[in-house]
A and B are shown apart, each in its own frame.
Chain A
Amino acid sequence: MKRVWLVFLLTVACSAASAQTGIKTVVKILETHYSVRHHGVPGLWLAKPFMFGSGVGGLKIANFDNLRIRTDDDIYALQQRVTKSLGPEWFPFVETWSKSDHEWSVIYARDARDKMQLLIVTSEDNDGLTVLQMNVSGKARAEWFNEPVDCARRDRHKPQETAKNGN
């Protein structure tokens, strides 16, 4: 009987883990659809001490340096594809688009019990496309809820700075 329970629990755990979507889901879509490869950020762990106390943690970044998505139709199609693949647990919380800078971002939020998870897909002409996932809590979470427009404008540039400067 114990063995049956263990098998059952293992099955449930595995299916729960495989059902969870996030940055890997988005990376897979991009790599499959656009035939590109992502790369991580070397030394990202060095940035983590700087994040201590900021309310931001669990930062994961995937860069696609050579991927440029410019036309309205392409942007819309990608957003639809990503949103569908992420599933209903990820909610498109903020969308920003700057035509003159050729930049756009979609920010998804997910309720992860005691914290909020954010997933940001952002594209710039200079840096290509970047996907970020992070946990936000405390002050950072309050900022996002209180000033989502300002945070969206600010964080449209933040991913590249985070990757380059480590904070």
Chain B
Amino acid sequence: MKRIFWCAIFLAASVLGSPAQTIKVPESWDKLAAKADEVVKVTLDKKMLQFASRFMDNEDDAEGKRIVSKLNGVYVRSLQFTKPGEFTDADVAPIRAQLQGPEWSRIVQVDSRSDSEHVEIFIHMVGNQNMGMVILSQEPKELVLVHLDGPINPEDLDDLSGNFGVPKSVHSPKKTATQPKPPTEVKK
């Protein structure tokens, strides 16, 4: 989680403006949370994001402010378990299943054998409109789900990395093309 350097594909620019999304966090998350030792839930809805953006007045914050102003919400759910093996892929499967409909595409998958970390980024597209992004990070004792609700480009992740609860290890995929590409799997 801490040292992973993201390397993946670029997705075409999204279109501004999107309706609110109904599912913010998969329902199966609560079942898994019941097994966890530590649960952290961060909720930044549009009102809170607008409030935050009011204080982003520095030149350095300009890009972040632009991104945040478009988002409907940032939702972070973190589960920590006391020892490895307390949750399995089968526990995470229902969460992943909710991200596999026709409107969802996995654009990034990173497996780090050294850190035993598995990270995936899913993008929610309706027509040509980018409606949001979900980051699922799985470690032996930790599971983190980040939902960025609203239009956001994958390259915008750099500006959100380490902010608003988005893990610092999350970076934008490299800008290598202007059209969407199929999911890329990166083995470290």
> What separation, in Å, do the CA atoms of A137 and B36 have in the docked complex?
33
Contact segment of A15-23, A26-34, A142-150? A142-150
Binary interface encoding of chain A residues 66-102 relative to chain B, with 1 for a CB under 8 A from any of its CBs, else 0: 0000000000000000000000000111111111100
> Contact at B39–A100, with CB atoms within 8 Å?
no
Kindly list chain A residues whose C-beta atoms are within 8 Å of the C-beta of B48: 91, 93, 109
Q: Indicate whether A116 reaches chain B with its CB closer than 8 angstroms.
A: yes
Contact residue among B37, B40, B165 (Cβ-Cβ distance under 8 Å from A99)? B37
> What separation, in Å, do the CA atoms of A146 and B165 have in the docked complex?
6
Contact residue among B37, B39, B162 (Cβ-Cβ distance under 8 Å from A146)? B162
CB distance from B60 to the nearest CB of A (A): 11
> Contact at B82–A145, with CB atoms within 8 Å?
no
> What separation, in Å, do the CA atoms of A94 and B162 have in the docked complex?
16
Kindly list chain B residues whose C-beta atoms are within 8 Å of the C-beta of A148: 42, 44, 76, 164-165
Closest B-chain residue to A146, C-beta based?
B163
Question: What range describes how many residues of B lie at the interface?
Answer: 20 to 34
Q: Most A CB atoms within 10 A — which of B37, B42, B82?
A: B42
Interface residues contributed by chain A, number (CB under 8 Å): 22
> What separation, in Å, do the CA atoms of A142 and B55 have in the docked complex?
8
B interface with A by C-beta (< 8 Å): 36-45, 47-48, 51-52, 55, 76, 78, 82, 162-165
A interface with B by C-beta (< 8 Å): 91-100, 109, 111, 116, 141-142, 145-149, 152-153
Closest 6 CB pairs of A and B: A95-B41, A148-B42, A97-B39, A146-B163, A98-B38, A145-B52
- 26 A-B residue contacts at CB 8 Å? A91-B47, A92-B43, A93-B42, A93-B44, A94-B41, A95-B40, A95-B41, A96-B39, A96-B41, A97-B40, A99-B38, A100-B82, A109-B48, A111-B47, A142-B55, A145-B44, A145-B55, A145-B164, A147-B163, A148-B42, A148-B76, A148-B164, A149-B40, A149-B78, A152-B40, A152-B42
